[in-house]
Chains A and B, each alone.
Chain A
């Protein structure tokens, strides 16, 4: 296969590890914008989801927000973020990092919020009642009972968000952001298939690495007592 040979040669070429278009720089850019978007997503959506789940309020909204997120096409999110970033931060910030970031956060929110809500609601009512009987307050129930028992589902939501965000960050290259999408978009424009293929391969591997990393994290932090049940999710 000559193409795979070309791709291997492209990846082995030291010239592709120097300057602003270096592979490690592109990976770092990709991880940075994705990580920041997921972090903001967690900080905003997790408390809201946990609170709504704990109180049982606005269940319909909490469950359906994920479907709304799915209907918003990622390309559209990136596109709509251009005027938003331009308006909020001035024309000079209307391209590059900020529109990419603004597009990624709304994609990260829905799965985190919905899963946090469902995770808390799914906790056995008898367990919660027992905890209250033992004298735990609202905050105590949430922290000591609902959070650890709901952890597998909560983490699954963050994982879905992270994988979506890493995938969509690729499209940031269309709005003059760097990241690994740069190789794909430039490779397409220049008809350099080795660059295109190498970029696609790196993005795919990064997405799979995120998936695997969350699996490892889940095994590390989820209580062994509920691990068996969480396997079904």
Chain B
């Protein structure tokens, strides 16, 4: 911190709005790909767990170990293989979403009352229809709670990918640290937290839209 320099230089902020917009796009892209791909993988694994319960231990064990490994370490372990690329960033980011998403998808679908499922089968629903029209809608609140957690966590982790040449707002933080320029690092940090809060609010709105019957609760 240079003496005499104010903590935040507003003129610098005003003259870098274009860069903020560019970093926002990068940050959103990294997050959406990670949560999207993570959801597809987690959904498939969750269906496997629900159909073959003895796979639950190994799958959550592996996802849990991945979740435990520090993000920077996981990225570093991948660099010799996939380099300083978006692929390295996404493999790491996707890995961190799996445990949260699998846990909530499985818990959500298991939480559907057995008598509801039975009623659906009795009315002639095929297994596929039971899943799509009964179990998924009823599990939606718990599943979206998982997506919210995964999204917030991913938005925070994206900043770490600045170290491997990606980063979104994390890039501003990293450059700010390297140049001892507090304006830039505070801007990066505040924008990243703001993005997490906005994304969370949007997902709450999405949940209300998808589960209109739960609005009173």
Contact = CB atoms under 8 A, between A and B. Distances in A.
Interface in A182-199: 184-185, 187-188, 193, 196-197, 199
Contacts of A72: 156, 193
B15 to A, nearest CB: 21
Interface in A55-94: 67, 70-80, 82-83, 86-87, 91, 94
Contacts of A207: 68-70, 73
B160 A171 contact: yes
B185 interface: yes
B176 A79 contact: yes
B192 A197 contact: no
A181 interface: yes
Most chain A beta carbons < 10 A, residue from B73, B159, B186 = B73
Interface string B67-85: 0111111101101100000
A199 B73 CA distance: 8
A215 to B, nearest CB: 11
A75 B73 contact: no
A34 B27 CA distance: 29
A75 B174 CA distance: 8
Given A72-B193, A75-B159, A208 B68 contact: yes
22 contacts: A70-B152, A71-B152, A71-B156, A72-B193, A73-B156, A73-B158, A73-B170, A73-B189, A73-B193, A76-B188, A79-B177, A80-B189, A91-B3, A168-B70, A174-B163, A188-B79, A197-B76, A199-B73, A199-B76, A200-B74, A201-B77, A208-B69
Given A78-B177, A91-B3, 18 more contacts: A67-B152, A70-B152, A71-B155, A71-B156, A72-B193, A73-B173, A75-B170, A76-B188, A76-B193, A79-B173, A86-B1, A94-B1, A174-B163, A196-B76, A197-B77, A199-B76, A204-B70, A211-B68
